[in-house]
Chains A and B, each alone.
Chain A
Amino acid sequence: MSTHDSAGGESLTGNTSASAPGDTGRPANPPSAKSPTGPEDVGPRADKRSERLVATCFGVSSLAAIAFLVVFWALPKTDVAYTPLLGVCLAVSLFGVGVGAILWAKKIMPDEEAVQERHPMYSTPEDAAKTAAVFAEGTEKTGVARRRLLRYSFLGAMGTLALPIVPIISDLGVHPRGNARQLKTSPWKKGDRLTTEEGAPVRIGDLEYGGILTVFPNGNTSPSNSLAPTVLIRLRAGENQPRPGRETWEVDGHVAYSAICTHAGCPAKLYEQQTHHMLCPCHQSTFLVTEHCRPIFGPAARPLPQLPLALDNEGFFVAGAAYQEPLGPSFWERS
């Protein structure tokens, strides 16, 4: 800024209209004469009153700051009023300074209205031409226009310098191609037991009619296995209307679906046991459990994938097969 303001262009407009260059720009009036507003504010008494008011603000601020310290140290931090009191003390302390400063400006400083000229927001044609000439002269001296070899080898060097960025960035994650395959792999294998969050396997009879349970493959509740969460639901006999070919995927009214919404990947498990709606709380996709969890409302485009169920010889629920399609939200490589 200083370069401009001290440049010649500014001098023809000046700064504040009435202050000559070199002047401090302050009106030379005693404070008492500067009271700006109505008659009741004029005079030394009003001025004194304003001064006391501003000083009171600053005083309140100091007191509040001390109160902050008192609360900070004297109150146990577990007290339910601890944080609110700290907030109030801090706020009062800050308001005191702020209100005081503004009142000072409004009541004690002169209410001036200053005018400042703008400098033109463009350079003179001569200036622009001069600059262009300097640039042209410099470019000419480099010879970049004539020396094609230099030009292209330089551009080539800049281009090849960008190459090292590629492996550096791609090493941020494990190799993407392998991971895309990982997205398509079912976290459940055939024969995996359905276990609760605490790792207990689930058997017939553990769920009442209208019951739902979040289950994991063989006790693997690790957060890294984020596509694995599945819900096991017990429908009443005859309620399920399986897709053709999936008649054997239910066991005695029990059905299992991926809990991960096919829209944006939230756990969609707000199950209404009478309407059999399964709602996702994030974007309100609604799936109909009795009809292979097909989407009936909201942004989801695909049904929740179904996990084929079976019983092992101890009577516990197991996956009858792996999931037959990729779980969770769609992605480019998904067919």
Chain B
Amino acid sequence: MTTMTGKAIGGGARYVDERLTSANFIRRSMNKVFPDHWSFMIGEIALYSFIILLLTGVYLMLFFDATAREVIYNGSYMPLKGVPMSEAYSSTLHISFDVRGGLIMRQIHHWAALLFVSSIVVHMMRVFFTGAFRKPREINWLIGVGLMVLGLLEGFAGYSLPDDLLSGTGLRIAYSVGQSVPVVGTWSTFLLFGGNFPGESIIGRLYVVHILLVPGILLALITAHMMILWYQKHTQFRGPGRTEENVVGSRMYPSYAAKGGGFFFLVFGVVAALGGLAQINPVWMYGPFNPSQVSAGAQPDWYIGFLEGSLRLSPGWEIRAFGHTIPLNILIPGVVLPGIMFGLLALYPFLEAAFTKDKAQHHLLDRPRDKPVRTSLGVMSLTFYFVLWIMGANDIAAHLFRISLNLTTYMGQVALFLLPPLMYAITYRICIGLQRSDHEVLVHGVETGTIHRLPSGEYIEVHAPVQESQLVLSPVEPDHPERIEGERGPRALVSAAGRAVGSFFVAKKKDTSVPADQRERDDDTLTKR
């Protein structure tokens, strides 16, 4: 840092500090430590996608006109020239064909939306399988579940805005799902749509939901999510020097700021590449919405796919009694099932705490194998979800792989109930197996590849005892880089890449480094099983 820049920064800092008294806070923030583990950056993908969505969304707002008013299209897409359509659809075509760079903005927006929800889901999987949701982080888990559900809603609203044939079909189904709720269903859908389907109001209302209501709540919840994260500090995987009382990693400034900031551009780059190279939601081919038309393979975006699948798997049940009808074939797969799924997801931290009677605070993460019940429950639930998701695309699969459509449905119905418990059992066995192999290494040491011949003629492989220096790289104080050099010998068992991959993929024999009493406890749990 030259004296020139030093002076400039000093001057600016003083200006701010004399108004906000911020020096102490800023210094602590810059010194804040972030764990380096790769899996901690998945949530950032969601955050960055959200920023990209805001940027591109504002641009699209400047051109999009969310009205159902009928106009005659007169833009440059030939097959629809002179065709009557809604202003919403027409302005979407205008963005796609007659605004320079409009199509790429639309496509980046849509890809970012898919990425937003995907990364939330992957992030939640990471949090779930490592037990990061445990006390004191249950509130952030709840906020996270809320963010995901709102993300689905936001995505569906955005998907519906162009008023094309595909999204209109989706809205038609959404209307039927709303209508299926006993007593209040018809009323609430009439209120939402301003009357019978499709009505004139829904596009404008979804627009408000999509650009103001939900993004506003999302922004507030994301802020709360980040503030709580900041306040509680990150969790971390076990390792030498890593305890429940500290965080080991890179400091916010400069290292993490450079990496995290750089990662924003990488996320944006991936979305931009997709937006330019992979055509998404070609609304011009779908045509304007018309209730008498439909396209084969009418699917929602991927995150609603599980609902599509559950509706497809449903048997044809309906209750008709006392002058009323309850369509169980929509109510159960479209309302009850997602309600139960999201409910269980939100309640999981509390359920686990209640069942394990674990009231302690946790900042050190579990390896999935060390908590076989939780891991198996997670895999089981994901399998259930995955079957529904696949079944949302069973017609495409049946067509491409030449399987009978009806057969795929029967297979899905069986798989939905058979696969999850099976996956539970398999996952549980794998976890126990991994635990045993860890135990093996701890007790007998590492295989060295050296074969010795005993005097008796027997051959044995030499096992070296596990040394701490071979297990994980030790943490060092940031102000003594020379110790980094010193402690990282060429014999390090865990390579740099392995270290980055961390305990997800590479068994770190961390237990040797934790205090003896702690180790005993872990060994206890091992031998119990």
Residues of A within 8 A of B (CB): 1-2, 4-6, 10, 13, 15-19, 24-25, 27-29, 33-34, 36-37, 72, 77-78, 82-88, 90-95, 97-102, 104-106, 109-118, 121-122, 169-170, 172-174, 176, 179-180, 182-183, 197, 214, 216, 221, 223-229, 259-260, 263-267, 269-270, 281-286, 295, 297-302, 328-335
Contacts and interface: CB of A to CB of B under 8 A. Distances in A.
25 contacts: A2-B24, A15-B31, A82-B103, A85-B276, A87-B272, A87-B274, A88-B276, A90-B269, A90-B276, A93-B269, A95-B265, A105-B258, A112-B481, A114-B33, A114-B250, A121-B361, A169-B191, A173-B194, A180-B190, A260-B291, A295-B316, A299-B329, A299-B333, A332-B183, A333-B186
Contacts of A267: 291-294
B303 to A, nearest CB: 17
Nearest to A285: B316
Interface residues of B, number: 126
A206 B196 CA distance: 33
A101 B248 contact: no
Interface of B: 22, 24-25, 27-33, 36, 76, 97-98, 100-101, 103-104, 107-108, 136, 169, 172-173, 175-177, 179-187, 190-201, 227, 230-233, 241, 244-251, 254-255, 258-259, 261-266, 268-270, 272-277, 289-298, 308, 311-318, 320, 323-327, 329-330, 333, 361, 363, 394-395, 405-406, 409, 473, 475-481, 484, 496
B196 A331 contact: no
A172 B179 CA distance: 16
B179 A118 contact: no
Nearest to B103: A83
A335 B255 contact: no
Contact of A298 (B100, B289, B312): B312
Contacts of B108: 87
Given A87-B107, A174-B190, A333-B324, 8 more contacts: A94-B272, A95-B265, A102-B266, A115-B477, A118-B245, A173-B191, A266-B294, A282-B294
Contact of B273 (A88, A227, A228): A88
A330 B259 contact: no
A105 B255 contact: yes
Instruction: Give me the 5 closest cross-chain CB pairs, A-B, nearest first.
Output: A87-B276, A98-B265, A101-B262, A229-B292, A301-B318
Secondary structure type dominating chain A contacts: loop
B246 A329 contact: no
B330 A114 contact: no
A266 B177 CA distance: 12
Given A15-B28, A332-B185, A25 B251 contact: yes
Nearest to B257: A105
A329 B330 CA distance: 9
Contacts of A34: 481
B419 to A, nearest CB: 21
Contacts of A25: 27, 30-31, 251, 478
B335 to A, nearest CB: 12
A33 to B, nearest CB: 7
A332 B275 CA distance: 44
